[in-house]
Amino acid sequence: MKSSYSYAEDAWRAADKTALREKTGEWRKGLVVERLDGPSKLGRARSLGYRAKQGYAVIRVRIRKGGRKRRTIRKGRGPTKAGLVRFTTSMSKQAIAEGRASEKFPNLEVLNSYYVAEDGRNIYYEIIMVDPSHPVIKSDRRISWISGKRGRSYRGLTAASKRSRQA
């Protein structure tokens, strides 16, 4: 027997490509880090710990596709082994998105994140964030553990960060 969230996930997967293209076109015009009223993929968000109550926030982050370009050397000849173009970071795009959301909202803590969509230039992630000082969060025994922790995304403690630091 399937849950209602699995049906919603199937509907999201079978969404018309043109509708998704229109959405990403609108998102591209918006802010890089943007707070939302609720998650786009409710089933996925709830499976990662989101609850529709006070103290929870959903942030959509836009990350540029492709590898990182190093700064060019401005003096002397160009070394052949400079490695300017095909240089990749040790962190995943998802972990970078979580860090950017943490920088934008310093009073909130990253709980988890998930992939939403991508277009030709960008990848979009939604970050589930929690206010650790909110009374509703402090009194809820399922999430109150986050009240004592600070800077989870910076210390590599979120799921995406853990994946990127395993070598």
> Collapsing DSSP states into helix, strand and coil, what is residue 103?
helix
- The answer to whether residue 12 is domain-embedded is no
**Residue 83 belongs to domain with CATH number:** 3.40.1120.10
| Residue 143, domain extent | 24-165
The reported pTM is: 0.83
- The answer to whether residue 17 is domain-embedded is no
**Predicted pLDDT of residue 147:** 86
For residues 63-69, average pLDDT: 83
- The answer to whether residue 13 is domain-embedded is no
- The answer to whether residue 60 is domain-embedded is yes
Number of domains in the chain: 1
Tens digits of residue pLDDT in 88-139: 778 889 999 999 999 999 999 999 999 999 988 999 999 999 999 999 999 9
> Collapsing DSSP states into helix, strand and coil, what is residue 125?
strand
- The answer to whether residue 4 is domain-embedded is no
- The answer to whether residue 50 is domain-embedded is yes
Question: Would you say 101 and 22 are in contact if contact means Cβ atoms under 8 Å apart?
Answer: no
- Alpha-carbon separation of residue 82 from 28, 70, 91 (angstroms): 32, 9, 21
Whether the pLDDT of residue 167 is over 60: the answer is: no
- The answer to whether residue 3 is domain-embedded is no
Beta strands in 87-164 (DSSP E): 109-118, 122-130
- The answer to whether residue 9 is domain-embedded is no
